[in-house]
Structure 1
Amino acid sequence: MASLGQLTAGIAHEINNPINFVSSNITPLKRDIKDIMEVIDFYRESGEKEFKPETKKEAKKLEEDLELEYVLEEVDQLLKGMEDGAKRTVEIVKGLRLFSRVDEQDVKKVDLHDGINSTIILLNSSIPGKIRIIREFGELPMVECLAGKINQVFMNIINNAVHALSDHMEKIPDPVITIRTKSLGDYVKIEIEDNGPGMPEHVKQRIFEPFFTTKAVGKGTGLGLSIVYSIIENHKGTLEVLTEEGQGTTFIISLPVYQNAPKYD
């Protein structure tokens, strides 16, 4: 996982430079096109007054052949698309950088909300549009943890919630994943709840076992929640699941605010 984190961080860094170049060039490009349009408008107005009828006819024909009105409209749409695409890519790169956090060996104070948000950004393309993500974030202190590992926890649990909802979309009129955070003094609590099909008791009892999976062959390793459980345990936290068949599922993560550092430094 550390190697994967380093690879992800490296890719994010490499993408960052060209996308910044594209982003920073869009505004001056829009300004330049606006200037060119002013010149075109000036020529059009002057031409109406000063061109001979034959020249006006030729100019009109040229505009029609080139579909000038359509071209100008398309330039506008292309620039908007480039701007939106660049912003989205910047968001993804930021998400990758936050998610990969190559400080795997160092416990550091981190903002857990950044980790949750970056995870949602990275999962965005695989979340069906019908699924709503609701964030009910409380005021959280900075939490000492291995950021990359905790982001792995968020990724796994949110991804499982997405799959639970996606596989039963026809039976759920309003599929929702709700993420709540709250501070409890020396601990913080993160709840990830879905209104999916829930789990029967015999499945609930085994979900943290290595290699146990309810997915079809080739769809899952059965290691995800087992690794998640180990990560939370190694952080001196707790992980519990509340679920009932037909009533959705809630994963509740409790993490201590402090790991190794003294409370008052």
Structure 2
Amino acid sequence: MKEILRFLREARVGYLFFTSLIIIGIGFGAFEIIHQTLLTETSSETMQWLYFSRGVIVALVLMLWAAWTVYNYREYYEDRLEATKLRYSDIIEHSADAIITIDNERVITSWNQGAEEMLGWERDEIIGKPISYIVPDELIAMQELECIEFGLKYKGHVRNYETERLTQNGEKKLVNLTESFIRNKDGEIVGRSQILRDLTDIKMREEQIQQSERLATVGHMAAGVAHEVGNPLTAISSLVQVCQRKTDDDFLQDQLKKVREHIQRINKIVRDLVDFSRPSSMQAENVQINEEIQSAVGLLKHDARCRNVNFEMNLEDNLPPITCVPDQIHQVLVNLFLNAVDAMEGISEPVVTITTIREEQHIKLKVADVGKGITEEDQSRIFEPFFTTKEVGSGTGLGLSVSHGIISKMDGSIWVESEPGEGATFIIELPIKN
């Protein structure tokens, strides 16, 4: 009943009824006027013929009126239907999510722009391929498609299912899958629709939040460790110096010297812990990055580890200043340069190439070495606190983590590009601020 009332309302049946009454009234009224004015002496047989003609003419007029009205309404609703199709087509086509339809044989029948951007295939390349074409082999072996089909038949849909899909270049992309049936007007299942939402950025933000929480926890622990270790260490160092002054024995002097060297190494670890855990309270100011680079390189040339290292500097002239704490950016530069030197241990001609260039509203700094390079697995962890690729005892694993924190506070970014056996390049991008 509701559908009938809706149809009558949309079809404007009242309008049609009253216009039909008006046409009938005009038709019959016109004939009556003609009869009263012109045909008063007409015979009864003629009048019967006229009455019949009047009915036929009014009926023809009504039929023409109805046909014209139906034609106009049909055109109107066809235009509305076409506009609705275009609207929903635009929504589907320009959705950021990948929207895919497949038939009952699980062959891809449509592929929107979001799918092109997410997975890389143009629609002409992928339409007609089975949906398994974009599913990783291990998931096919685990019968994922069959599990999805079971969920569809059991609940009528599958929602928020985390899985992976293959991109055109063979990479796996983490996605959220929603799948449901497509039915025709008779209720028969004619296919399925899939909506894929890219979870890469979401997962990355979640990992960043977790990493920040871990760093905060480690920072508190580091501050406590530095405090507890620092005080006894100062006392031990003082006692060693007293012992060195009190003895002339060469053997003891040599052993005490080694003790002091180890104390200095522990002191460095404590300083790194303090730098990692304590935010800087120093004032930021405008700094010329090229001058800081030259200062850091000049300082390192007096370090025994850097005496045979060739520092090549390709510094762009007239770079605008960056806003930072000078001591902090100096600390970052020295750390990157020393890491590059350490990575080239055992190489006959070690070279550190330092490059600065301006790119729009950023200054990019590159520090490249010719060392053994960094594996892809290590690259993903290189900025984690206490992670190091150096031998045990050769590093604390805090230098790059501290540097990452400093650069992040400057609204900049730092990352590494490397291939094993081909050296590594650390890249810093810093904003130019007015």
TM-score range, shorter chain: 0.5 to 0.7
Greater mean deviation of Cα atoms: 213-222 or 193-202? 213-222
* Cα displacement (A) at 1:104: 5.7
Give the structure 2 partner of residue 137 of structure 1: 315
Give me the whole-angstrom Cα distance separating, in 1, the residues matched to 2:385 and 2:407: 15
Ranges in structure 1 where 5+ consecutive residues have no aligned partner: 1-102
Give the structure 2 partner of residue 108 of structure 1: 285
1:137–1:182: 8 Å Cα contact kept in structure 2?
yes
2:413–2:430: 8 Å Cα contact kept in structure 1?
yes
Give the structure 1 partner of residue 396 of structure 2: 221
Give me the whole-angstrom Cα distance separating, in 1, the residues matched to 2:386 and 2:307: 30
Residues 110 and 227 (structure 1), Cα distance of their counterparts in 2 relative to 1, 3 Å cut? same
Give me the whole-angstrom Cα distance separating, in 1, the residues matched to 2:390 and 2:350: 20
1:74-153 map, 5 Å:
105-126=282-303, 127-139=305-317, 140-153=319-332
* Cα displacement (A) at 1:217: 2.4
1:187–1:254: 8 Å Cα contact kept in structure 2?
yes
Q: Are residue 209 (structure 1) and residue 384 (structure 2) matched?
A: yes
Cα RMSD (Å): 1.6
SS of equivalent to 2:373: coil
Give the structure 2 partner of residue 254 of structure 1: 429
Give me the whole-angstrom Cα distance separating, in 2, the residues matched to 1:120 and 1:224: 17
* Cα displacement (A) at 1:159: 0.5
* Cα displacement (A) at 1:216: 2.3
SS of equivalent to 2:302: helix
2:323–2:410: 8 Å Cα contact kept in structure 1?
no
Supply the AA of the counterpart residue of 1:218.
G
Give the structure 2 partner of residue 93 of structure 1: none
Residues 104 and 137 (structure 1), Cα distance of their counterparts in 2 relative to 1, 3 Å cut? farther
1:180–1:191: 8 Å Cα contact kept in structure 2?
yes
Supply the AA of the counterpart residue of 1:158.
F
Supply the AA of the counterpart residue of 1:216.
E
* Cα displacement (A) at 1:144: 1.3
SS of equivalent to 2:329: helix
Give me the whole-angstrom Cα distance separating, in 2, the residues matched to 1:183 and 1:199: 27
Larger radius of gyration: 2
Q: State which of 346, 349, 365 in structure 2 corresponds to 1:168.
A: 346
1:131–1:177: 8 Å Cα contact kept in structure 2?
yes
* Cα displacement (A) at 1:236: 0.4
* Cα displacement (A) at 1:115: 0.9
Give me the whole-angstrom Cα distance separating, in 2, the residues matched to 1:247 and 1:218: 25
TM-score by length of 2: 0.34
SS of equivalent to 2:427: strand
1:235–1:255: 8 Å Cα contact kept in structure 2?
yes
Q: Deviations over 1:67-122 (max 9, x none)?
A: xxxxxxxxxxxxxxxxxxxxxxxxxxxxxxxxxxxx96222111111111111122
SS of equivalent to 1:215: coil
1:182–1:190: 8 Å Cα contact kept in structure 2?
yes
Ranges in structure 2 where 5+ consecutive residues have no aligned partner: 1-279
Q: Are residue 232 (structure 1) and residue 407 (structure 2) matched?
A: yes
Q: Deviations over 1:158-215 (max 9, x none)?
A: 00001111x232xxx4321100001123210100011111011121111101001122
TM-score by length of 1: 0.55
Supply the AA of the counterpart residue of 1:120.
V
Q: Which has the higher contact order (CA 8 A, sep 6+)?
A: 1
Q: Are residue 156 (structure 1) and residue 340 (structure 2) matched?
A: no
Give me the whole-angstrom Cα distance separating, in 2, the residues matched to 1:124 and 1:104: 30
SS of equivalent to 1:125: coil
SS of equivalent to 1:136: strand
* Cα displacement (A) at 1:133: 0.6
Give me the whole-angstrom Cα distance separating, in 2, the residues matched to 1:108 and 1:130: 34
Supply the AA of the counterpart residue of 1:105.
M
1:108–1:147: 8 Å Cα contact kept in structure 2?
yes
How many residue pairs get matched?
153
Supply the AA of the counterpart residue of 2:302.
S
Give me the whole-angstrom Cα distance separating, in 2, the residues matched to 1:162 and 1:104: 30
* Cα displacement (A) at 1:241: 0.4
